[in-house]
């Protein structure tokens, strides 16, 4: 399965935040949208990184409530990206090697989606269920006895 197929199924809405925005804006957007991460866009309009619940909590632990007034650029993490034409297996490998829970999907220099670990797990589970069904169907064929 390809990354593009996951994006087609889940939609390609990408919610982003500017590097200069306050961390409070990240926390509010994550809560309001019920999502785990945002793509961070720099002043030049290009991908600057990713910020997730993990970074917000880490900032609160380091800076206290004052973290909410800091800029996103203070807490974002560099993003490893993936392309729509890459396979889910490639995405899994990148996520495992980089310990990344979110991968921006980039095509022609533009962010076209955000792949989460949950998206990858759901995709692989669907593939395995389909394979299992095929094996069960084969076992029920008359010549299989």
List, for residues 69-126, the tens digit of each pLDDT value. Answer: 999 999 999 999 999 999 999 999 999 999 999 999 999 989 999 999 999 988 877 7
Domain residues of the chain, as ranges? Answer: 3-144
pTM of the model: 0.82
As beta bridge partners, residue 103 has 115
In the chain, % of residues over pLDDT 90: 73
Inter-residue contact 35 to 10 (CB < 8 Å): no
What CATH number has the domain spanning 3-144?
3.10.580.10
Phi, psi dihedral angles at 126 (to 5 degrees) = -60, -45
Average pLDDT, the chain: 91
Distance CA 23, CA 29 (A): 10
Q: In angstroms, rounded to a whole number, what is the distance separating the alpha carbons of residues 73 and 22?
A: 9
């Amino acid at each position: 399965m390809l990354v593009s197929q996951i994006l087609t199924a889940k939609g390609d809405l990408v919610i982003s935040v500017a590097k200069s925005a306050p961390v409070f804006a990240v926390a509010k957007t994550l809560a309001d949208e019920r999502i785990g991460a945002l793509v961070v866009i720099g002043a030049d309009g290009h991908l600057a990184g990713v910020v997730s619940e993990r970074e917000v909590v880490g900032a609160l632990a380091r800076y206290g409530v004052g973290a909410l007034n800091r800029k996103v650029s203070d807490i974002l993490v560099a993003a490893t990206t993936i392309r729509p034409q890459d396979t889910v297996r490639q995405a899994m490998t990148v996520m495992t090697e980089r310990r990344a829970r979110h991968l921006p999907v980039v095509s022609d220099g533009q962010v076209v989606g955000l792949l989460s670990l949950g998206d990858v797990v759901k995709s692989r589970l669907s593939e395995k269920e389909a394979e299992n069904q095929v094996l069960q169907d084969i076992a029920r064929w008359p010549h299989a006895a």
